């Protein structure tokens, strides 16, 4: 297995005292991130909010950090990450935030330090895009949006 990428993390003042991202089990792919809110944030049903983590990440070139939902919040409360997965690019140096949405039927309160999402570190490939007159044929062709069946 190759060396693990090192992600430098700077805590902003409003994240003081909160845990850094952490894996909750030995086989976990995602590390939980926490809400760096000063006051509880109530998400009404169908409401969304940009929830701060108070973390700035120094991600090595060739890697990204994906912000993903926590399955427990989704299953129990209907709360998920709206733009899942959200991408934190290697050259971004602002605060990592999670766009949470409440698809549940009851208000959901986000408390300070609550685990609100998980992050997955993944390698990135970039491509060279070029205009062409034709693309190659394939068995599927232009079929999409359910064309391969249910």
109 DSSP β-pair partners: 42
Question: What is the residue whose two structure tokens read 């760096």?
Answer: 36
Does 32 belong to an annotated binding site? no
* Rounded-to-integer distance, Cα 128 and Cα 122, Å: 20
Q: What is the mean pLDDT of the chain?
A: 95
Given this structure, which CATH class describes domain 8-123? Answer: mainly beta
Domain range list for the chain: 8-123
Token pair of 110, please? Answer: 């986000």
Does 71 belong to an annotated binding site? yes
Mean pLDDT, residues 51-57 taken together? 98
* Rounded-to-integer distance, Cα 63 and Cα 121, Å: 7
Band (pLDDT 50/70/90 cuts) for residue 2 is low
Per-residue model confidence as pLDDT tens digits over 60-92? 999 999 999 999 999 999 999 999 999 999 999
Does 89 belong to an annotated binding site? yes
Give pTM, 2 decimals: 0.89
Token pair of 44, please? Answer: 């009404």
Does 83 belong to an annotated binding site? yes
Given a contact cutoff of 8 angstroms between Cβ atoms, the answer to whether 68 and 22 are in contact is no
pLDDT at 148 over 80: no
Does 8 belong to an annotated binding site? no
Spatial CA neighbour of 126 closest among 94, 89, 96, 93: 89
């Amino acid at each position: 297995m190759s060396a693990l990428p090192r992600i430098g993390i700077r805590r902003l003042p409003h994240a003081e005292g909160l845990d850094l991202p952490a894996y909750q089990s030995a086989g976990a792919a995602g590390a939980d991130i926490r809400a760096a809110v000063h006051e509880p944030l109530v998400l009404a049903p169908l409401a969304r909010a940009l929830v701060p983590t108070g973390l700035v990440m120094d991600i090595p070139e060739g890697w990204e950090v994906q912000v993903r939902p926590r399955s427990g919040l989704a299953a129990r409360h209907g709360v998920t990450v709206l733009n899942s997965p959200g991408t934190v690019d290697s050259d971004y140096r602002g605060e990592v935030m999670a766009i949470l949405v409440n698809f549940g039927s009851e208000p959901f309160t986000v408390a300070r330090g609550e685990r609100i999402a998980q992050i997955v570190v993944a390698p990135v490939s970039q491509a060279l895009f070029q205009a062409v007159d034709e693309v190659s044929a394939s068995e599927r062709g232009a079929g999409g949006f359910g064309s391969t069946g249910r």
